[in-house]
Amino acid sequence: MKRLDKLIALNCNVSRRDARQLIKDGEVTVNGAPALRAEELVNEESDVISVKGKTFTSKDHIYLMMNKPEGVVSATDDKTHKTAVDLIPDELSRKSLFLCGRLDKDTTGLLIITDDGAFCHEIMSPNHKVYKTYIATLAYPLDNEAISALESGVELSDGTKCLPAKVKYFTDNGEYKCELKIREGKYHQVKRMLYAVGNRVDALERVAIGGLELDRALPAGSCRELTEDEKAAIFAENEG
């Protein structure tokens, strides 16, 4: 059983306050009778709920894009640090959420968060070939030898061999930058790959997952639901 205002917020993509207003305005019915109280408990499986005359079916899953800020950890629960999941507003929150690929505390950018474990697995598994695109700000220029090593699959200092990456080196306002596309998610992978070729990452941002780009209009620390087109774009770029 769930509170009526919470269920409306979750399923109609409105805030809890807007959901309560809809109930006050007489726009909501439960099993054909006007709903009177926001705190009424309803069964999402068996009760028929209509909002503005439209019956909604409970959404199976939620899919969020977050622009992760610096200083929060990519975890669902942490005793000492603020987590990405702590930043999700109530109306978008669900019980069991997965982060589709973690970012370090100091890494910013695109995080996909969902309660659909299979979807998350499709994004994360290297076999599914969904590339994650990062922009790294580097301490030093990147020479051709380093680029070739990254492109052919660099070996990390502990002997781990990485899959080939796609690399574009450029400068931006005098800063050394590199766009790196990888399809694995090893611990500190980008930082360790660049360290393995004699460089150092001073800042890191994830800007895309597959064909889904970070929405630049989304302020750091905010999240929103993905559209169906955006969900499809994640897998549209897959190779082979």
Active site residues: 104
DSSP 136: E
Nearer to ligand URA, 156 or 218 (CB): 156
Strand, helix or coil for residue 21: helix
Q: What is the nearest approach in angstroms of ligand URA to the Cβ of residue 150?
A: 13
Site string for ligand URA, 150-169 (x = CB under 6 A): --------------------
Site string for ligand URA, 24-63 (x = CB under 6 A): ----------------------------------------
Nearer to ligand URA, 6 or 191 (CB): 191
Q: What is the nearest approach in angstroms of ligand URA to the Cβ of residue 165?
A: 11
Nearer to ligand URA, 7 or 84 (CB): 84
108 binds ligand URA (CB under 6 A): no
Nearer to ligand URA, 44 or 104 (CB): 104
Query: Hey, what are 158's tokens?
Result: 């502990």
Q: How many CA atoms lie within 13 A of 188 on its CB side?
A: 15
Nearer to ligand URA, 11 or 107 (CB): 107
Q: How many CA atoms lie within 13 A of 91 on its CB side?
A: 18
DSSP 39: T
Task: Give the Cα separation of 70 and 48 in Å (integer).
Answer: 43
CA 210 to chain centre: 12
Task: Give the Cα separation of 51 and 125 in Å (integer).
Answer: 39
Pick from 107, 114, 133, 199 the residue near ligand URA by CB under 6 A.
107
Q: Contact at 8 Å (CB) between 3 and 40?
A: yes
Query: Hey, what are 54's tokens?
Result: 């439209």
Per rule CB under 6 A, count of chain residues that contact ligand URA: 8
- Strand 201-209 to 108-114 pairing: parallel
Q: Contact at 8 Å (CB) between 138 and 150?
A: no
Site string for ligand URA, 167-206 (x = CB under 6 A): ---------------------xxxx------------x--
The footprint of ligand URA (CB under 6 A) covers: 103-104, 107, 188-191, 204
